Structure 1
Amino acid sequence: MLKLTYTEDSFYMECLTLSLEEWVAQRVIFSLRVGYSLCVQPSTATFLLPVDLPGVEALKTQARRADDGIIDLATCDAEYLEVTLRGSWLSNGSEGADGVFVTTMSDRTEFFVHKLWQEAQSCASVMSE
């Protein structure tokens, strides 16, 4: 399962071994116990990857092979590829941008997307130094 945590100014991606159903159930139980409002709804999440990142072409091939429609790739411009994932958005129900997006794909695709995102983050931090 991929988990993307969105805050006001960034997001963080994790690859978790729990099933989507287990993780959501745990989150619902936790929310009930602490009295926290929780809204779960179908949604999409989008992020960018540099087109020159090693492995992007392999991701394109893998996404074309997947017929489940969970991942879509689109070229934004000469520098970036837009990755769109379909899954579920969990938040407190407010209009803010804070929340958690979760989705599930094949283990291989999840690991690959997570690895590419980590590499993109590493490249970005090296360039900003």
Structure 2
Amino acid sequence: MLKLTYTESSFDLECVTLSLEEWVAQRVILALRVGQSLCIEPTTASFLLPVDLPGVEVLRAEVKRDDREIIALCACDAEYMEVTLRGSWLSDSSKDSVGVFVTTMSDRAEFFLHKLWQEAQEISASVMSE
């Protein structure tokens, strides 16, 4: 499962070994126990990846091979492509921009997408430190 965490100032993507159903069930139980409201709704989430990142062509091939249409790629400009994922949004309310987006696809696709995102973060960090 891929988990995308959106805060007011950042975004993080991680692979989680639990199934989507197990993770959501644990999150619902936590919300019940602490008395927190929880909104869960189907939606999409998007983020950018550099088009010249090594491995992007492999990702494109993986997207074409998967017929479930969970992931879509779209060129933004000469430097970036948008990765759009279908899944579920969990937050305190349906209008909240802070929350967690979860989705599931093949283990291979999840691992590879996570690896590409990490590499993009490393490139971004090195550019900012220069």
TM category, shorter: over 0.9
| CA displacement at 1:94 relative to structure 2 | 5.4
Aligned to 2:33: 33
Cα gap change, 1:120/1:42 in structure 2, threshold over 3 Å: closer, same or farther?
same
CA deviations on 1:32-82 (whole Å, 9 max, x unpaired) are 000000000001000000000000011001101110010000010000010
What is the rounded CA distance, in whole Å, between the counterparts of 1:123 and 1:62 in structure 2?
Answer: 23
SS of residue paired to 2:90: strand
Rounded Cα–Cα distance in structure 2 between residues aligned with 1:96 and 1:25? 20
Structure 2 length-normalised TM: 0.97
Query: How far, CA to CA, are the matches of 1:56 and 1:108 in structure 2?
Result: 14
> Identity of aligned pairs, percent?
69
Using structure 1 for the length normalisation, give the TM-score. 0.98
Residues 95-114 of structure 1: per-residue CA shift (max 9 Å, x gap) = 23100000000000000000
Number of residue pairs matched?
Answer: 129
RMSD: 0.7
Unmatched runs of 5 consecutive residues or more in structure 1 = none
Unaligned ranges ≥5, structure 2: none
